[in-house]
Amino acid sequence: MASVPQGTAVPGSAPLTQGHKRVIFASSLGTVFEWYDFYLYGSLAAIIAKQFFTALSPTSGFIFALLAFAAGFAVRPFGALVFGRLGDLIGRKYTFLVTIVIMGLSTFLVGILPSYASIGIAAPVILITLRLLQGLALGGEYGGAATYVAEHAPPGKRGLYTSFIQTTATLGLFLSLLVILGCRTWLGTEEFDKWGWRIPFLLSVVLLGISVWIRLQLNESPLFQQMKAEGKGSKAPITESFFSSNGKIALLALLGATAGQAVVWYAGQFYALFFLTQTLKIDATTANLLMAGALAAATPFFVVFGWLSDKIGRKPIIMAGCLIAALTYFPIFKALTHYGNPALEAASQTSPVTVLADPAQCAFQFVPGELKSHVTFRSSCDIVKGYLAGKNIPYVNEAAPAGTLASVKIGTTTIPSFDGAGLNADQFKAQSTTFTDAMAAATKAAGYPDKADPTQINRFMVFILLTILVFYVTMVYGPIAAWLVELFPTRIRYTSMSLPYHIGNGWFGGFLPTTAFALVAATGNIYQGLWYPIVIALFTFVVGSLFLRETKDVDISK
């Protein structure tokens, strides 16, 4: 057997040295910066919609901004394949040095990208391209960082040490929120929305320089060096990972671990933030401050649950997090409404809104009019639902006989819609103005607020509820890296753990805000979107509990 290169410490032979701890810290810090870059877009989705999707209606523009946000998640599995293979072939260090450069440059370019008003359709096309590059880079980043740290850690401490990597996604989001809040406070909301939103993206070039310098200080993983010295490396990591018996483990890791972990992560952080700003209409500064506070309060529990997983196992903690989240999402989000916008809750209870319409006349509200005929989107049903969706007013549907003109009942007041088919532009505008004025008067009389009243927001209770949601995130996310690392052998570990992680988080999690808001738009129920994370989390709980093994005591040096 070949000898280990001189100076290489093999995990398990001794506790981590102070030098190794500095290396792990450096690796984690670089990953924080990469997550900061990636999540800036999500935190600024509403503003980006106004900059790059102005050709669409406000509702359609926002959903397309979310889709562009999701595009970065869609390609993460492909980045996992590309960079995972490189990481298993040439090493962990150089692979995630490349990923940080791609991420940093893509984020910086978003900051200097002209808006739709300046260069037209090229603006959203370039924006989505940059999001795709960010997604590819992130697809190669996480697996490398988690594998690198785990392969330095001694037995019995992998959960603890990889939990520091697990904090990086939340810390990156936290950092992005703080920078955004600082810029918005410094410039004022109007100037920030106009041009100041670019500053957080431009700052990424500074973080890129720091991150590259940090990554250049890293040494290669000792287990990777040992494997190479012994000639045990894989020549075909993708084939060995997914087209052998190992493929079954990768599939179970996706369905029984990362899918549920992902939806709990994105529901507890991103969807909760969007729910505050879009559904409850709490001002962005207040919502971001509350979320930042919750992130700060709950983040230490990533390490707590990572440490605890070394004692009792990864599986019970993650499965418990999925189950508890699924069982409590509805009461928590209803409580957010109660404490965040009590006027909206009161109006919904005393003057519920009902849309009476022929279902055949109702189109899906998140499909932009540019992709459908004007007749479809000028139906009496679509006019009613378009207004309600634009104002984020919850409603229920009641089927009317075929051919019936749609109407909306607000408490005891009924307002008829109108059929816009066949009307010219002036006629449609006149009818729309009459209908809109009537709806505005009726909803105001019923108590539906245009935005949350700052004096009625119970900030303490909203903070507590958000902290609980992030606490669930720490349960499912704190031990996940150690669990994934321990499921796969060294020669294909980077590739094998990266793909299920990024399919879970990139697809199941990344599309959660879009899917959830689409469910809300389709039904009018502001809580309907919660069914998506609940179903996925429960499915993961069943699959993981029945088919995935506990790994905390396995030897990962093989």
Q: Are residues 193 and 285 in the same domain?
A: yes
Note down the domain range covering 436. Answer: 348-446
Q: Are residues 406 and 322 in the same domain?
A: no
pLDDT computed for residue 506 by the predictor: 81
Q: Are 95 and 140 in contact (CB under 8 A)?
A: yes
Q: Are residues 389 and 477 in the same domain?
A: no
Q: Are residues 189 and 205 in the same domain?
A: yes
Task: Count how many residues are written for the chain.
Answer: 558
Could you count the other beta carbons within 10 Å of the beta carbon of residue 366? 20
Tens of each residue's pLDDT in the chain, 558 residues = 333 333 333 344 445 566 656 666 766 776 787 678 767 877 787 788 788 877 666 656 666 776 777 777 788 888 888 887 887 777 677 787 888 888 889 889 989 999 888 888 888 888 888 888 988 888 877 777 788 788 778 888 899 988 988 888 788 888 888 898 899 889 998 899 899 999 999 998 888 888 788 777 776 666 666 666 766 666 667 877 788 778 899 999 999 999 999 999 999 988 999 899 989 999 988 998 999 899 899 999 999 999 999 999 999 999 999 999 999 999 999 999 999 999 999 999 999 999 999 988 887 655 433 333 333 467 899 889 888 887 889 999 999 999 899 999 999 999 999 988 878 888 988 999 999 999 999 999 999 999 999 999 999 999 999 999 999 999 999 999 999 999 988 788 878 888 898 889 888 987 888 788 888 888 889 999 999 999 999 999 999 999 999 999 888 776
Which string of DSSP letters, residue by residue, matches 189-236? HHHIIIIITHHHHHTHHHHHHHHHHHHHTPPPPHHHHHHHHTT---S-
pTM above 0.85, yes or no: no
pLDDT computed for residue 334 by the predictor: 97
Q: Are residues 424 and 506 in the same domain?
A: no
Domain end position, chosen among 401, 418, 446: 446
Q: Are residues 311 and 176 in the same domain?
A: yes
Does residue 555 form part of some domain?
Answer: no
pLDDT computed for residue 62 by the predictor: 65
Q: CATH code at 128?
A: 1.20.1250.20
Domain end position, chosen among 446, 463, 486: 446
Cα–Cα distance for residue pair 275/527, rounded to 1 Å: 10
**For residue 53, what are the contacts with CB-CB under 8 A and spacing of at least 6?**
60, 61, 62, 64, 65, 116, 124
Could you count the other beta carbons within 10 Å of the beta carbon of residue 368? 17
Does residue 4 form part of some domain?
Answer: no
Q: CATH code at 409?
A: 3.40.30
Does residue 279 form part of some domain?
Answer: yes
Q: Are residues 166 and 255 in the same domain?
A: yes
Q: Which residue has the tokens 């929305």?
A: 193
Q: How many separate helices (H) and strands (E) can be counted in the chain?
A: 28, 4
Question: 58-74 vs 380-391: helix axis angle to the nearest 10?
Answer: 70
**pLDDT tens digit sequence for 49-85:** 788 877 666 656 666 776 777 777 788 888 888 887 8
Domain end position, chosen among 446, 466, 494: 446
Cα–Cα distance for residue pair 96/34, rounded to 1 Å: 10
Q: Are residues 240 and 288 in the same domain?
A: yes
The total of structural domains in the chain comes to 2
Does residue 119 form part of some domain?
Answer: yes
Q: Are residues 362 and 268 in the same domain?
A: no
Does residue 558 form part of some domain?
Answer: no
Q: Which residue has the tokens 């209770």?
A: 461
3-state secondary structure of 116: helix
Q: Are residues 306 and 290 in the same domain?
A: yes
Cα–Cα distance for residue pair 93/537, rounded to 1 Å: 33
In this structure, the dihedral spanned by the alpha carbons of residues 72, 506, 500 and 253, taken in order and rounded to 10 degrees, is 170
Does residue 553 form part of some domain?
Answer: no
Q: Are residues 365 and 313 in the same domain?
A: no
pLDDT computed for residue 109 by the predictor: 92
Put the strands of the sheet holding 353-357 in their side by side order. Answer: 396-399, 353-357, 407-410, 413-416
Q: Are residues 301 and 416 in the same domain?
A: no
**Which amino acid appears at position 54 of this protein?**
T
Does residue 256 form part of some domain?
Answer: yes
Q: Are 259 and 540 in contact (CB under 8 A)?
A: yes
Does residue 124 form part of some domain?
Answer: yes
**For residue 424, what are the contacts with CB-CB under 8 A and spacing of at least 6?**
none
**pLDDT tens digit sequence for 285-337:** 899 899 989 989 999 999 999 999 999 999 999 999 999 999 999 999 999 99
